[in-house]
Structure 1
Amino acid sequence: MNKFRGAYVAIVTPFTKDGKVDEKGLKDLIEFQVKNGTHGIVPCGTTGESATLTHEEHHRVVELTVKTVKGRVPVLAGTGSNSTSESIELTRAAKAAGADGALMITPYYNKPTQEGLYQHFKAVAEAVDIPIILYNVPSRTSVNMLPETVARCAKIKNIVGVKEATADLNQISQVIRLCPKNFAVLSGDDFTCMATVAIGGAGVISVTSNVAPKDMAAMMDAALAGDFTKARKLHYKLFPLMGAMFIETNPTPAKTALALMGKIKNSAPRLPLYKMSEASTEKLSKVLADCGLL
């Protein structure tokens, strides 16, 4: 069975007041996640602000995550880039650090064709022998990786899954229909993750898990076990929180929530992202309080 199942947290990268990676803060967040039943950790994803980490910081965050996790759950390291050679370098570093797999975003800004996407992932998969999860998020990249392209990639032995963040159950159904049974289709959208599992998906890579790891993991456990009465109850419990995580650009709300909960000291993301407005912070605080997280 594919090990990439359940609720994986797209973990934030906390920074100190002077803008450096807060290593103690990150270790504490990882412990909070593992203790609360998260099924896996994803460092250096979009939520981890990979776009504004230097290569040295990127390597260090992955290395620190692997060392802190100590094999208790899988570590799926974000290693994608819009440059194939850079993606290979980041993926090699993740493998050397001991990551269990690599999460690779479709190249952004360049707008490759479907053939270009296939050749990009094929080149990385052939260069680095590590399990690879593709990551399709058209809202961020301006390119939609079509189900037929995902199915082509699924024939490459170490491409073992996809994070589908289109929130389009039609497209996700096509991916599941066209790919092998053990190919992990993970939701990249908290709102539709339970529905994704209902149609044959394997779980979620979640933003909301940053603040509510226990409930997200329990929802995925229930859905994967076919207990949709319990899963649905948890979905609607978490639904306001899922919305609050996207009041402003991710990961600003997640980092603000963690700071309000006393889990990190500094809520600020790196520029060009900016700290949350007072009005949004007020709305977020109310949702956190209503969910019993403050």
Structure 2
Amino acid sequence: MATGTIEKQYVEPKITIVGAGPGDPDLISIKGVKALKTADVILYDALVDETLLSYAPQQSIKVFVGNPSGDENFSQDVVNQLMVDYALNFGHVVRLKGGDLFVFGRGYEEIAYAESYSIQATIVPGISSAISVPGLQGIPVTQRGISESLWILSGTDSNGRLSEELTTAAQSRATVIVLLGYEKLSQIVEIYQQAGKGKLPAAVIQNGSMANEKIAIGLVNTIAETAEEKQIDGTQPVLLIFGQAVALHQDFQSIRRFFDQLECVDCY
């Protein structure tokens, strides 16, 4: 009969929160890849390309913590607790998130929760879709003489209502990037029209940087209809862009010539 006790091997809890970028798996940072290669556990969300998991050790635990709307199994509180529990029991947890941690990524909440358990969280920034997705389309979010400031807004507030800051943003000359706002596009268009900016260039991009990317280019007055024509449905990540910088997109001049040929003053 065996005697004695089996001691549980101590693991040093460690958490690394990694921004995976806008969607294209090649846009993750080298530092992010290095973190994945040493992970014992990976918690990854719905905006992460799963090919990135191949960087992790084969024996590592991969846990999907996507965020379907209304599903309590993937609430932020649940994800926070999973992150800590896995770190305490297995060691190095990589929390892999789409985009950048601090641009509507709730990264600070996860860092604060980890530190409440005296687990230090290392931060690996990611490329934000707010800047990179327009850039990949040849739309500079700032351009000397055209747009010298940038607003990045959520389309809705924490209660799901249209963000009040959109009214102020529409009055500015800045390039305005709206995330999490496609369902409110018609209301956002009305705000710009009320500001006398129905002819302002606008764009809608779905699945930016990915193979199934869709883009609609037009003007405030027509952008909702153009997005529908391009079969942008909002079931995947969508980014809205308003501002003169959109006119630098290669397709914009042909759009403007089309309206000029119609001699339709109210079209744009």
Give the TM-score of the pair, scaled to structure 1: 0.33
Q: Which has the larger radius of gyration?
A: 2
Q: Which has the higher strand share?
A: 2
Give the TM-score of the pair, scaled to structure 2: 0.35
